[in-house]
Structure 1
Amino acid sequence: MKDWWQETFPEGRQSLVITDANGYPVKIAYGEKGTGKPLFLLHGVGSWSYNWRHSVQPLSEHFRVICFDAKGYGFSEKAVFRREQSGHQIIELERVILSLCDEPVVLVAESLGALIALGLAEANPQLIARLVLVNVPIFPQQLPHWGMWLLSQLPLEIVQAIDSSRLAHLFAPLVREIMAIERRGVLYDPSILTQDDVYWITYPYTEIPGTLTKVAEELQIAAREIEHLQTDKPNLISKIQNNLGAITCPTLILWGEHDSWFPSSDGEKLRQRLPDAKLQILPNCHHDASTGASEAVNAAILNFLQETHFC
């Protein structure tokens, strides 16, 4: 099967080294296409750059599109023997942007990536010229999927043992079948998920050791954050919620009308808390908007950037 990075980006998969939140050098995988003002695409939990496969080409006709795998995801380095702290993604996102750009960027982010984008917009607002948030878990009640909950409950040592034994690789056809069922569950039209899609979505899990461990660790952090949010203990989510008024850059919120993970009513609550935000509900769309409603997402992004005079 042809390499997705080579097929998508003129220079294929590239890499850069940043210092992570723990102070260690880590290699980040990324691709870029197009020229002009920089536009970053940030994926959600358990995913990688492939989730933006339908957006790279259309957006690159107008912008320098940069798509990267966050640390621990996709083709980026997995520091499996170092434990993460809540908020590390915000620090690392900032360092990726600073490594690749010397001007404010458009940041387009989905799901957990969108929560991280909000955190960065509060911590370092001068980095972001425009913000696009897709189905962001800013008011979560719980982890939205049973598989996420299960991974968040397993001791990391057990997950790491499963990971290092390459069981996912040994049972790759079964892993792909399970992943296909689950990914179709967050699509309004499940039939749009192709066999190539299933292969690439699962590739990091079946072929790159450490992926499952790092995703499990991120889910454990997320579960702890949600628990602390609900019990009024210090947590990153409430910190981001309490500082939303500090985000002054023009912001577009996109939300799937039928998102069963995080209700679209959360989008309106978020819009009311942001000083300069617009909400657009995506019809016939569940949680995976970048795949299930890609044409509408791309059109909304371009219209927003034109309306706010960024093109």
Structure 2
Amino acid sequence: MTLTTLQRFKADNGLAYFRVGSGSPVVLVHGVGLRAEAWLHQIPQLSKQHTVYAVDMPGHGDSSLEAASSTTLNGYVDAIAQWIETDIQAPVIIIGHSMGSMIALDFASRYPQLCNGVAALNAIFRRSDTARQAVQQRAREMVENPQLDRVSAPISRWFNTEPQGLELEMAELCRQWLSIAPAAGYAQAYQIFSLEDGPSDDDLASLTVPAIFITGDGDSNSSGEMSQQMAQRCANGRYAVIKDSRHMVQMTHPVEINLLLLEFADQCEQHARNNV
């Protein structure tokens, strides 16, 4: 399967998405500046047992910026929830990466009737003051200077300094996607991302479905400690840290990530059956 040959569907609310496979639904949500293709390694594996929906965030890929009901995280989540209610019409396992993890966790908390499980990859939780100031400064610069290089800095944060093999290939893909990302959609999403500090303790405690938090051991902005802290606040939470990886774990370490996600999806299915 190559994603370049897959059809992109368009929902009435302006969200674009891939739909592949058959079975219980899994929704994949990418991070800022990227697109549904960021799940290129997960879609073929998950779609063997599930109907996989990989969505472009509002203002990314082929999704319209107006798909979001407001310029807040809630607005992005509400747009995805509306699409799930209208087009999928069933509870989903939702998997997010980076800002997509923020969306997935907020969705699981605010739309529990639509969620059978949530996986958060490279999520942030209680940034340090230094990290918070840095990300908010980047967001301001992006808005004030649309011609700013939006490619080199993310690539240097997301990947090793001298990537080799698969990591080099994935870095080049991300470089391409970032270079063609719509400026307005990229800037708006990054502003939202910079102002969020992860789910509240109450939101995490409210989750009754299985939840897994995964990050790379070299991702300083989405550390293993953050994943552990979020997992410990959930009734059915666990976490995993991928060795020798940074921010783009689903792209650079697909074997480890796919094993975790397939096992997690089975756990979610069993939990849903037991709680009918």
Task: Please give the range of the TM-score, normalised by the shorter of the 2 chains.
Answer: 0.7 to 0.9
Letter in 2 for 1:109: G
User: Is 1:16 matched with 2:11?
Assistant: yes
> 1:110 Cα deviation (Å)?
0.9
Conserved? CA contact 1:115–1:138, under 8 Å: no
Q: How far, CA to CA, are the matches of 1:41 and 1:308 in structure 2? A: 15
Aligned to 1:271: 231
1:151-190, aligned counterparts within 5 Å? 151-154=138-141, 156=143, 158-159=145-146, 162=147, 179=151, 182-183=154-155, 185-188=157-160, 190=163
Measure the CA separation in 1 of the matches of 2:19 and 2:3.
10
Map of 1:198 onto structure 2: 172
CA deviations on 1:106-131 (whole Å, 9 max, x unpaired) are 11111111111111111110111121
How has the CA–CA distance of structure 1 residues 153 and 184 changed in structure 2, closer, same or farther, with 3 Å as cutoff?
A: closer
Gaps of 5+ in 2: none
The question of 1:212 aligning with 2:183 is answered yes
How far apart, in 2, do the equivalents of 1:278 and 1:262 lie?
Answer: 16
Q: For 1:1-311, what aligned pairs fall within 5 Å after superposition?
A: 5-7=3-5, 9=6, 12-18=7-13, 27-79=14-66, 84-141=71-128, 149-154=136-141, 156=143, 158-159=145-146, 162=147, 179=151, 182-183=154-155, 185-188=157-160, 190-191=163-164, 192-193=166-167, 198=172, 201-203=175-177, 205-206=179-180, 211-225=182-196, 237=198, 240-310=200-270
Task: Name the TM-score, length of structure 2 as normaliser.
Answer: 0.83
- In the superposition, the TM-score normalised over structure 1's length comes to 0.75
Q: Which ranges in structure 1 are unaligned for 5 or more consecutive residues? A: 19-26, 163-167, 169-174, 227-236
Secondary structure at the counterpart of residue 116 of structure 2: strand
CA distance in 1, matches of 2:192, 2:261: 30
CA contact (8 A) 1:134 1:255 kept: yes
* Aligned length in residues: 267
**1:5-60 CA-partner distances (Å, limit 9, x unpaired):** 442x3xx1121122xxxxxxxx2111111111111111112221121111111111
Matched residues in 1 for 2:39 and 2:132: separation?
21
Of all paired residues, the percent bearing the same amino acid is 19
